[in-house]
Amino acid sequence: MSQTIDIHTHYLASTLVAALERRTELPRISDGAAGRQIEYGKGNVHPVQDNMGDVELRLREMDEQGIDVAVLSINIPGVDWFPPEDGLVVARDVNDELADLVAAYPDRLAALATLPMQAPEAAAAELSRVMAAGFSGALIYSNVAGAPLDQPGFRVVFDAAAELGAPLYIHPTFPLSASTVDAYALIPTLGFMFDTTTAALRLVLDGLFERHPDFRLVLAHAASLLPQLAGRIDYEAERHTNGRGALSVEPSEHLRLIYTDSVCVWPPALRSTLELLGPGHVMFGSDYPFWEPERSFRTLAQTGLDGATLTAIRESNARRLFGWGKASTKRGQGA
C-alpha cells in the first residue's frame, strides 16, 4: 500500500527560537499585543503558534490527516540574517536538533538542513556534514539577506550539493520586492512567489544545469510562477541578446528539470505545473503549519489525476528524489 510523504512541513526549532529572541534587529521574535510574534521583516509579522515546534502534535495530526512521513524544514527567516560566525553556530545547533528528532522517529520524519548561506564556504562544509549524517538535503531561501542566489560567491554551495547529490529546496523568505507589496497581505500572496520565481530563473539562466545536468533543484509552491511564464521566458530569451544567459538551449528545457511540491490549493494551477514539469517532478506538500494539509489533499482529488500519477506525487517521486528505498526500508542513518 502506498504512503503519503509531505515534503513541505515546517518546524520551528527551539535553538532558532532562542537565537531570534536574542536579536534586537529584524528578523527577530518579540512580544506583541497578541503574544509572541516572528517579525520576518518590515510589514511581515506572524504569531508564534504552538504547532510550529510541537512534534508530538504534528505526529498526531499526521495520523489524522493520512500523512505517513513528513520532511521537516525550519521556518523562515532561518539563519541568513545572523553575522556569519553566529549563523554557522545556529545552523549547526538547528541541524543537530533536527537530527535528534529524526532519530527519535525514523519511520515518520526526515529533515532538510538549514545552511548559513551568508558564509558560503561554511555552508558547503555544513551540507557535507549533514548529508553524511543522513539528511535528505537542505532548504535554502530565495535570497540571502537581500543577495540573489546566482552571485558567484554562492556557487561553492551549489557545487557541493551537486557533488553530494543533495537536493536543494528553494523556499520564500522576506522578498526583495517587499516595499512594493507591503499592503493587503501581498507579501505572502505575491511577493513570496515573485522572489522564488526570480531566484530559480536566475539560477537557471546563470547555467546551473549547464554545469550540473543532474542537479536536484526543488522550488516550493507548485513551481511558483514558472508554469505561467515559461512560454514568455522562452520568447523574451530569443528576442534579447542576453536573454538566454549562459544557456545553450531554450530556458524552458532547463526549467523542466526542476522539482516542486503540490502546494497551490487550485487544481488548474497544479495541472499547469504538471504540464510544465511532468508527473515525475511533482511531490505532495502541505506547507504545515501555515496552510492546512486538507487543502492539499483536496487539490489533488480535484485535479483529475490517474492512479499512477497520484502515487508518484504522494510517494514515489519523493523517494526517488531523496534517494530513499521502498516504504519497508529505512531512509538513512539520521534522516
Domain holding 259, by residue range, is 5-322
Domain membership flag for residue 329: no
pLDDT of residue 334: 40
C-alpha cell at 161: 550539493
For the chain, where are the E strands, in sequence order?
Answer: 5-11, 28-32, 35-41, 44-47, 69-74, 109-111, 113-114, 138-141, 168-171, 217-219, 259-261, 282-283
Instruction: Summarize the confidence of residues 100-108 as an average pLDDT.
Output: 98
Look at the chain and report how many structural domains it folds into: 1
Domain membership flag for residue 219: yes
Contacts of 227 (CB under 8 A, 6+ apart): 269, 272, 273, 275, 276, 277
CATH number of the domain enclosing 234: 3.20.20.140
Instruction: Summarize the confidence of residues 130-156 as an average pLDDT.
Output: 98
* Nearest residue to 10 (alpha-carbon basis) of 72, 54, 69, 61: 72
Burial of 230 (0-12, 13-18, 19+ CB in 10 A): buried
Instruction: Summarize the confidence of residues 19-44 as an average pLDDT.
Output: 92
Cell 492546512 sits on residue: 292
Domain membership flag for residue 309: yes
Domain membership flag for residue 332: no
C-alpha cell at 59: 505526529
Q: Is the pLDDT of residue 52 over 70?
A: yes
312: DSSP letter: I
Omega cis (within 30) before 27: yes
Domain membership flag for residue 66: yes
pTM of the model: 0.96
pLDDT of residue 335: 41
Domain membership flag for residue 245: yes
Residue pair 258/226 in contact (Cβ under 8 Å)? The answer is: yes
Q: Is the pLDDT of residue 135 over 90?
A: yes
Instruction: Summarize the confidence of residues 198-215 as an average pLDDT.
Output: 98
Q: Is the pLDDT of residue 329 over 60?
A: no
Domain membership flag for residue 331: no
Domain membership flag for residue 256: yes
User: Coil, strand or helix: which one is 299?
Assistant: helix
Q: Convert the pLDDT of each residue in 221-280 to its tens digit.
A: 999 999 999 999 999 999 999 999 999 999 999 999 999 999 999 999 999 999 999 999
Q: Is the pLDDT of residue 73 over 90?
A: yes
